[in-house]
Amino acid sequence: MNVLITGGAGYIGAHACKALKAAGYTPITFDNLSTGWRDAVRFGPFEEGDLLDRARLDEVFATHQPVAVMHFAALSQVGESMQDPGRYWRENVMGALNLIEATVAAGCRHFVFSSTCATYGDQDQVTLTEDTPQQPINAYGGSKLAIEGMLRDFSARHDLETVIFRYFNVAGADPEAEVGEFHQPETHLIPLMLDAIDGKRPALTIFGTDYDTPDGTCIRDYVHVMDLVDAHVLGLKWLQADKGSRVFNLGTGSGFSVREVVDASRAVTNRDVPMTLGERRPGDCTKLVSGSARAIEDLGWSPERSTLNQMIADAWRWHQGKGYSR
């Protein structure tokens, strides 16, 4: 059973390919390598291409005839989306429209979409559920919300069933260290922190220390990447069992501040974290914490590795031997 994985050369996509292979599927990676890595494609065939190239998409669908699509490919930096919103609307939304239309044209009925908690916006002191009003405050969240709307519209008109996952901060790495998190430039807290610990950058910058939180730094809900991709396999099986379209949050219900993550890293690595303090970044929310009861109850999902120490330990193991080359 072939599954088309857009963004399969990226952080989450590569882990999804490994999980799908272990579950008996053949992941077909479709990636333009703008941010992904050819070396991360280890679990199935690779097709280089861009989502804005509809003819290339049609060719790949015809060649591999996938039974489902998992769509991970997207621009995902909040700050960049505030500075260049047009790029996010063009590449994320128009690319997704091409992909959805190609999926329908090929007669592929099942579509799993990687959405985000950024669609909820800044809603402090609220545990976010799938029914929480969506009020994105940046172009990244806005583009993902637009794609959710497209999927609902296409599902209403065509024989297309969808699972939408809105997830929170993804962290950690493959425990066997075959694939991991490696961006250039790096923008995510834990790998930036590990770079600072390891002397690969002068210091970790904490952006904003005046948030309305106990220690002044913003709070996020972290989920282990392996738990996250396990949910995607369960979502695919949900669709194949004809249970219908569904939206799921993926988080743990527990939030950690930036300073708490730094403190945990000291305990895991037994090293100090060089730090500098910076101003808040435009578009950053104060607190984002998920309620994931629906995924736990309906999918039977269990985020077993999503403790802060485990995520940092797995990321540290990958980090010490990390590296991809294009």
**220 three-class SS:** strand
**204 three-class SS:** strand
Picking from 174, 170, 218, the residue whose alpha carbon sits closest to that of residue 190 is 170
Distance, CA of 163 to chain centre: 14
d(CA 3, CA 120): 29
d(CA 256, CA 260): 6
Phi, psi dihedral angles at 130 (to 5 degrees): -65, -20
Q: Is 167 a catalytic site residue?
A: no
Catalytic residue among 25, 88, 140, 222: 140
d(CA 125, CA 205): 25
Q: Which alpha helices (H) appear in the chain, and where do they start and end?
A: 11-22, 54-64, 78-83, 85-88, 95-105, 139-157, 189-197, 225-240, 258-269, 293-294, 308-320
Which residues belong to the active site? 140
